[in-house]
Amino acid sequence: MRRDPHRQQGDHAQSAHQASPASEATTQRDPHRDPRDHAESAAPATGVPAKVVVAAVLGTVLEWYDFAIYAALAVVIGRLFFPASTPTTSLLIALATYAVGFVCRPLGAIVFGRLGDRAGRRGMLAITMVVVGAASLLIGLLPTYASVGMLAPALLVALRMAQGLAVGAEWTGGATFLLEHARTGRRGLFGGILQAATVAGFLLGTGVAALIVHVVPDAVVDAWAWRIPFFAGGVVAAIGLFVRLRLDESPAFLRLRAAHEPAHEPDDDPTNTDTRRNWLLLFGIVFGLTLYGYTATSFPAFLSGVTGLPLADALTTNVIALAIEVPLIVLAGAASDRFGRKPLMVGAVAVFVVATIPIFLLVTTSGFVGVLLGQVLFVALYATVSGPSAAMYTELFPTRVRSSAFSSAYNLSIALFGGTAPFVNTFLATRIGTAVAPAYYLTFGALVSLALLLVTRDRHAEELR
């Protein structure tokens, strides 16, 4: 990374800012003061502003809440929008539409990721919040197949694609924004909080769906109750937008802009090779890990559609397992600040390699208690690898390309492998004739991620570039 010739001056300014409460006001009053001094002092000395954490977490919760609702109610949505000769066929079509939402994620990652690198993280995050929330609200207003025929599934697919476009930069943009505020030695903790927010969103969505399925008669669910969770998503988006419009830009981006460095690497920049290598590493690592993440959150549809477990029981076991996973992710993220990202992630993925098939045997051949135990084991392992991952991914790239490089590699892998995981799992189990079939696919993914993690540099003790 090119060094700012005035960096030392900015460092002295930061020290002065921390020592004197009046320094920020002085900086604002003095028009001749170097703006880089203010950019350096923008990062808090001991923590991240609460509004930054809230803004990142709300967006992440909403993003995965919407996807969880769709996955949890896939059986219902299949009946209402994709009627077919058999329930399994309707479910497969509904899950394929779930995957369609991921098709636009790489495009959204490129468009919004570049916007984040050129114009700033804050504005990009406000736009993605509007799109995700508006799409959720409109899905709740859609007519069903019985009312308007093929127009209903066509509109549903269009809205899922719009969501996917915005989601392509939502989580990665939130992670970039949040972790650029965090000091070295704390990025794992805040990355863990953001990763826990993904599960919290799934937990909230699945919990709402489980509550509706438990207390509302099936006929009422089909008639109108399925719409309620999507309306709630629109409300969350409005709150999140209000918070994001009140944010300041990230300190790392302010430093980059103050130094007048280009938002993207010129062709002759020696860091180009490092960025390309890390882009490929991130893409491959996410391949294996996303299979596990999306399998964990789509267990209800899989178990209900393949094993015959009642949907209410499948949702209940999933909610309990996800509730246990949330604090474990935060603990793993914090632990990675002390022990490093790689030891935790490599260890958990290595266990997945040998434990995935036994876990699938447990959840597909047992009753309620066995299904619950298998899911808890599954999410405990995933929490160990998930907690440090946001920080590791963010640390792979320099500030000037972090938003676009991180978003594009992550979301292309998610689109190809994560969004299709529920469909592939159900397809393998139903076509091969054994519910354990998806475990072989997941184990292969774990082997790929493990090999790439072993050659990835751990930067947990380094300053962001």
pLDDT, mean of residues 2-23: 42
Examine the pLDDT at 40 and tell me if it is beyond 60: no
Q: Which of 60, 38, 40 is nearest to 178 (CA)?
A: 60
Q: Could you tell me the pTM of the whole model?
A: 0.77
Within a domain: residue 463?
Answer: no
Give residue-wise pLDDT tens across range 414-439: 888 887 787 788 788 878 877 788 88
- Count up the domains in the chain and report the number: 1
Give a yes or no: residue 13 inside a domain. Answer: no
Average pLDDT over residues 344-359: 95
Report the mean per-residue pLDDT for the chain. 82
Helix segments in 185-267, DSSP class H: 187-215, 218-223, 228-244, 251-258
* Domain containing residue 283: 49-257+269-453
d(CA 20, CA 11): 14
Neighbour-count burial for 311-320, b at 16+ CB within 10 Å, e otherwise? bebbbbbbbe
Spatial separation of the C-alpha atoms in residues 350 and 330, rounded to whole Å: 21
For residue 400, is it within any domain?
Answer: yes
The tokens of 154 are what? 């066509």
CATH code where residue 118 lies: 1.20.1250.20
Q: 423 lies in a domain?
A: yes
Tell me how far the alpha carbon of residue 271 is from its chain's centroid: 27
DSSP 305: I
Query: Considering just the CA atoms, what is the radius of gyration of the chain in Å?
Result: 22
Helix (H) or strand (E) holding 37: helix 35-41
Residue 91 lies in a domain: yes
- Residue reference for tokens 């066929």: 89
Q: Is residue 36 part of a domain?
A: no
Extended strands (E) in 298-398:
none
Is residue 356 one of the residues assigned to a domain?
A: yes
Neighbours of 57 (CB within 10 A): 22
Specify if 43 maps to a domain.
Answer: no
Residue-level pLDDT at 310: 84
Distance CA 234, CA 89 (A): 30
Name which of 277-291, 322-336, 357-371 the model is least confident about: 357-371
pLDDT at 39: 41
